[in-house]
Amino acid sequence: MNKAYNAVITGVGMYVPDKILDNAFFEKIVDTTDEWITTRTGIKERRKLETGATSDLATKAAEDLLKTHNVNAEDIDVIIVATITPDMFFPATACLVQENIGAKKAWGFDFSAACSGFLFAYQTACSLVESGTYKKVLLIGADKMSAIVDYSDRNNCILFGDAAAAVLIEPTEDKSVGLQDSILKCDGSGKNFLYLKGGGSLNPPTHDTVDKRMHYLYQDGKAVFKVAVKGMADISYELMVKNNLTSDDIAYLVPHQANLRIIDATAERMGLSKDKVMINIDKYGNTTAATIPLCLVEYYRAGKIKKGDNLILSAFGAGFTWGASYLTWSMD
Ligand code: COA
């Protein structure tokens, strides 16, 4: 593919709320144990935003990025917020962030692809930059999952947390760095396994939709697990083969953090040892669109990613949606 530029990540930022919900908290509110949660999912803690909304998480992650990398908000061209928990159906959360950070010349939009939201939006953001049309795209993965989690449903409430993380994407003429390739997929036949059916045009909110708890996330965990474990592993391996990459060529797998067993299966399929897999599911659980950028920020700030490292980002989520992206890190 002929691209005018490659798209590189030139800044990162994150925000997680202070309030921690550990497994002991869930032992008190539903019939579960720390041992069950730890062995089945790998999760020990997750965060909860007590006041505010997804735009507040996203704004704080954006502000962290701008401050850390000394970027002027007025120079940002586009803001994309990947989320399934927007503050409202409209206006877009991206507009709220635009106002909060003072990105006076930016336009923006929200991107809905559930747990693949960051990955799909990353490809989109890079395309805006690769064409030469835009110079600074701020991409934020943000979800306040606590707003749509039913805390009486032990199958699901233990899985999710609130967080946001941001990346700044800019053009470079150096084709050896930045996004190299992606394979992205969706299959709507997965719609019956993971959804939030109330509140939209299908089931506008009524007393009845609320009584039936349709405003909460529903997941058939076992069914999703089976497809996710194969989907994420297969597509990550396919991307490696397509780009002639061996496990030695890859510095890190950056997987969506839904379940440690899905992550382990993906790494195994790719022939990667544990030290080449970014993991923070133990601290944050599944933060939906925020998981992948949250890993990038933490590992970068810990000095574990260096310029020239090849990363494979990989995700699976509601829709179904899934995919993998191969990028070469460009920041020192
Ligand atoms: N504590 C204790 N027991 C629980 C429990 C909990 N929090 N949640 C469910 N159980 C029970 C179930 O009721 C079931 O009991 P039963 O055998 O009497 O019916 C038993 O544990 C086993 O449930 P199962 O669904 O087989 O567990 P699992 O090993 O598949 O793990 C998930 C459940 C949700 C952790 C797992 O299926 C999963 O991670 N699914 C996919 C999540 C995902 O990737 N989502 C994709 C995008 S976000």
Atom of ligand 1 nearest to the CA of 158: 7
pLDDT digits (tens, 9 = 90+) for 18-30: 999 999 999 999 9
Q: Which of 225, 227, 292, 321 to mutate to test the pocket of ligand 1 (most atoms within 8 A of CB)?
A: 225
Q: Which residues contact 89 (CB under 8 A, 6 or more apart)?
A: none
Q: How far apart are CA 60 and CA 72, in angstroms?
A: 15
The pLDDT-based confidence of 2 (bands split at 50, 70, 90) is confident
Peptide bond into 293 cis (omega under 30): no
138, part of any domain? yes
Q: Look up the pTM and report it.
A: 0.97
Q: Are residues 236 and 186 in the same domain?
A: yes
pLDDT exceeds 90 at position 119 = yes
Question: One of 115, 126, 157, 295 is an active-site residue; which one?
Answer: 115
Q: Are residues 130 and 45 in the same domain?
A: yes
Which residue is associated with the tokens 């939209």? 200
CATH code for position 98: 3.40.47.10
286, part of any domain? yes
Q: How far is the CA of 141 from the centre of ligand 1 (A)?
A: 26
Q: In this structure, what is the dihedral angle of CA atoms 134, 136, 139, 140, given to the nearest 10 degrees?
A: -150
pLDDT digits (tens, 9 = 90+) for 247-279: 999 999 999 999 999 999 999 999 999 999 999
pLDDT exceeds 80 at position 1 = no
Residue 130: both structure tokens together: 């690769």
Q: Which residues does ligand 1 sit against, CB inside 6 Å?
A: 32, 36-37, 40-41, 115, 154-155, 158, 221-222, 224-225, 228, 258-259, 262, 286, 316-317
Q: What residues make up the domain containing 255? A: 178-328
